Chains A and B, each alone.
Chain A
Amino acid sequence: MTTVKVRFFNLLAVHAGNKSRIFEFTEETTVAQMLAQMANEFPPAFRDMVYQQDKISPHLRIFLNERLLYEKEFDTVLEDGDSLMLFPAIAGG
């Protein structure tokens, strides 16, 4: 069993209905797969923040154990005890 804690920030917390949640997996799961699972489970507004035209949104910031993940790392396999933080990223302009 792999247990992963996910913390949601700002509008993602609103759409997820919670600031954090524990997820448990029995099979090997990547960060991208976990996002897909959350997008299926949560309301459409959550999916709308996480994906853009079926790709992971450039506005989503994913931190694995407090380190910012690059796009090429979205296939990282999650390990027991990992923590994820998900933020919608907006900047100034």
Chain B
Amino acid sequence: MPLTAFINLTHSDINVQPTDPELIRRWLGGRGLGAYLLYCHVGPEVEAFSPDNFLIFTSGIMNGTSWPTASRYHVTFKSPATDAYGYANSGGFFGPELRRAGFDALVITGKAPVPVFIRVIDRDIQILSASHLWGQTTSHVEEILVAEAGGRVASIGLAGENQVLMAAIINDKGRAAARSGPGAVMGSKNLKAVQVVAGTPSLKTEADFRQLAKQTSRRLIESPDTQGLMNGSTLFLMTIKNKSGDLPAKNHQFGQVPFINTLDVDTFSKYWTRRKGCAVCPIRCARNSELVDGSETIKIEGPEYETTDSFGPMCWNPDPEVVIRANALCNDHGLDTISTGVTIAFAMECHENGLLNDEEFSLEWGDPNTILGLIQRIAERQGLGKLLAEGTLRAAQEIGNGAEKFAMQVKGVEMPRQEPRIAKAFGLGHATSNRGADHLYALPTIDLAAHWEAARKIFPEDVLPSLMDIADETYKADVVMYGENFCAIIDSLGLCKFSTAETYVVMPDDLAEGLKTMGYDFSGDELLTIGERIVNLERLYNRRHGFNSRQDVLPARFTKEPLPIYSFSPGSKDGDLVASEDPVVVGQIFDFEAMMQRYYKLRGWDENGLPTTQTLERLGIAQLAGKK
């Protein structure tokens, strides 16, 4: 039976118990289990950097099996960025290793008196000195610990040690549990790394499970919806997003760049050395890149799309090598590439408007020294990095004079790389997400990625023409709500969204079939109800912190400023594309409030965005809701 370990770093106390099977039935594992544990143990009186905060590593219940893309683990905590709910999720090989070592959850509390790391070898857990690791980069920490004991490592870099609000936890060298500040919480506990070494190569499953997993892999490999990811990594999105106006640029002043030819798949593929996948993944969307510059060689996994937009178009930077260097720096220092790039773009726009200057860096759009230098300073909390390490919301409050309008964030977390005036369901999802701006909370791709067949299974036939029109706001709430419930299941099973909510190759009924052969008897609809329960519990967590509809808002730019989109043709001398004289379309949100109110109504929440008693009773969490 899988275990939950409670590890108190203050007292070096380790208590291992079998996980209550009833908890798994109600919350699955991964994100759901983490949400439940955080809700029950970390109240509003606990500050994010208090030793009483929890840092909960959970595996999903499909991790460690051969189910395709079951590679992801989850980290749940009270976030220093939102000052409320927080979690992050990462792929690679750490999640399956944790599961195979026997654990549903490592629940880490307290604060070590000196830097430590946790070593888990199968069911044995040790808290060891990290004096030789503190101050080291994440890649170096991983090399040291793997050489000592093997297995997989999740660690923090300088940014986590310095409690930078956008600090990530990095595993498998290039994979990041990044969003909403998990690395900062880990650093506040003096915890440098978690190492897991599993003796069991894979978990025992029945023949019919393995057969189904194999068939599902085959479907994923053959689907038209995965071909772009397989052949071009997530960077295959760069060109089509530029054509569509969904490539945020210059801190969302634009949705396109004329220099896309230097940031597309063809350009980055010149740096690729190897195609790569996470554990049990048939899609294998990752690429290793190598940049050789004189005597210096930089090797990274990536860059992927979110990172490339953050340090490329968002900072108005056309140089792919700056993106690769920025990615490498963020990985080594343990920084969220999205939040870091968006924060630097924020600083550049503040400078453009006369609100911010720096002695060390020009803060001019596209300046490589500013981009790379500020990453270093943010991780160190030195120079301007001291201000920017707090993220855009808090930095804007400090700068004042209207700087808030340049802060592209929701609930204190910087926005991922979609343009809400074009990808409207994503815009709504960024606002509703309970962990702050997030493309993966709802991943509402049904309209944007043309999942017509999935839409027919989920929604009434007569609404489809309107629902599948990305500019039509009528049913965006429906797409977001379904996506949120589905994503909560995916995160709780330990799966990647590229097999599920991004591509809709695998749907809830398929997951239910797989789980049945593992001994879990759920229908697809029952799984979606569990997803709904998780989203509601996360909302209740934020409700306890005084959150309501006032936090479910987008920056004013998205509801006040129209976004003209142009078609491009080749032609200029410097290789840049030339925009059409007139826009082909104008991106614009017409009635954000109507989308939000429909979302609340569909959810069974009141007009303030809070679950009604009836909804909580239906989901079986009314009693939990009363818990302070």
Contact = CB atoms under 8 A, between A and B. Distances in A.
Given A89-B449, A89-B450, A10 B469 contact: yes
A81 to B, nearest CB: 19
Nearest to A45: B567
Contacts of B227: 58, 71
A14 B584 CA distance: 7
Contact of B449 (A44, A67, A69, A90): A90
B73 to A, nearest CB: 20
A91 B445 CA distance: 6
Chain B interface bracket (under 10, 10 to 19, 20 to 34, 35 or more): 35 or more
B450 A88 contact: yes
Identify whether the interface residues of A are mostly helix, strand, loop, or mixed: mixed
A45 B584 contact: yes
A66 B448 contact: no
A45 B222 CA distance: 29
B440 interface: yes
B306 interface: yes
Nearest to A71: B224
B228 interface: yes
B243 interface: yes
Nearest to A58: B228
A70 B240 contact: no
A66 B453 contact: yes
Interface in B363-377: none
Given A9-B469, A58-B236, A48 B243 contact: yes
A87 interface: yes
A21 B445 CA distance: 26
B452 A87 contact: yes
A5 interface: no
Nearest to B440: A92
Interface stretch (B325-333, B339-347, B416-424): B416-424
B453 A90 contact: no
Contact of A93 (B225, B417, B503, B585): B417
B585 A14 contact: yes
Given A44-B569, A58-B227, A58-B228, A93 B306 contact: yes
Contacts of A71: 224, 227
Nearest to B227: A58
Chain A interface bracket (under 10, 10 to 19, 20 to 34, 35 or more): 20 to 34
Interface string A54-81: 0001110101001111110000000000
B312 to A, nearest CB: 13
Contact of B448 (A58, A85, A90): A90
A69 B228 CA distance: 15
Contact of B452 (A11, A63, A92): A63
A44 B580 CA distance: 11
B36 interface: no
Contacts of B423: 90
A87 B454 CA distance: 14
B305 interface: yes
A44 B304 CA distance: 29
A91 B567 contact: no
Which of A52, A59, A71 has the largest number of chain B CB atoms within 10 A?
A59
A87 B502 contact: no
A37 to B, nearest CB: 21
A90 B567 contact: no
A87 B467 CA distance: 13
B469 A88 contact: no
Nearest to B229: A91
B450 A11 contact: no
Given A45-B567, A58-B228, A70-B222, A90 B241 contact: yes
Contacts of A87: 450, 452, 468
B450 A61 contact: yes
B234 A85 contact: no
Which of A57, A68, A89, A92 has the largest number of chain B CB atoms within 10 A?
A92
B237 A88 contact: no
Contacts of B241: 90
Interface string A1-38: 00000000111001100000000000000000000000
B426 interface: yes
A62 to B, nearest CB: 9
A11 B244 contact: yes
Contacts of B470: 10
Contact of A91 (B231, B448, B452): B448
A69 to B, nearest CB: 8
A71 B230 CA distance: 15
A85 B309 CA distance: 30
Given A63-B452, A85-B452, A92 B418 contact: yes
Contacts of A61: 224, 450, 452
Contacts of A67: 453
A58 B306 CA distance: 20
A17 B445 CA distance: 25
A87 B225 CA distance: 12
B237 A91 contact: yes
A90 B236 contact: no
A11 B243 contact: yes
Given A92-B445, A92-B502, A59 B224 contact: no
B439 interface: yes
Nearest to A9: B468
B471 interface: yes
A14 B559 CA distance: 22
Interface in B423-440: 423, 426, 439-440
A68 B453 contact: yes
A49 B439 contact: no
B246 interface: yes
Contacts of A45: 567, 580, 584
Nearest to B503: A91
Interface string B601-619: 0000000000000000000
Given A9-B468, A15-B584, A90 B222 contact: no
Chain A to chain B: the 9 pairs with minimum beta-carbon distance, closest first? A87-B450, A45-B567, A93-B305, A61-B450, A91-B449, A89-B450, A59-B240, A58-B228, A89-B449
18 contacts: A10-B470, A14-B585, A44-B567, A45-B584, A58-B231, A61-B224, A61-B452, A63-B453, A66-B456, A68-B453, A71-B224, A87-B452, A88-B244, A89-B240, A89-B450, A90-B237, A92-B445, A93-B305
Interface of A: 9-11, 14-15, 44-45, 48-49, 52, 57-59, 61, 63, 66-71, 85, 87-93
Given A88-B240, A89-B450, 5 more contacts: A10-B244, A58-B232, A61-B452, A66-B456, A89-B225
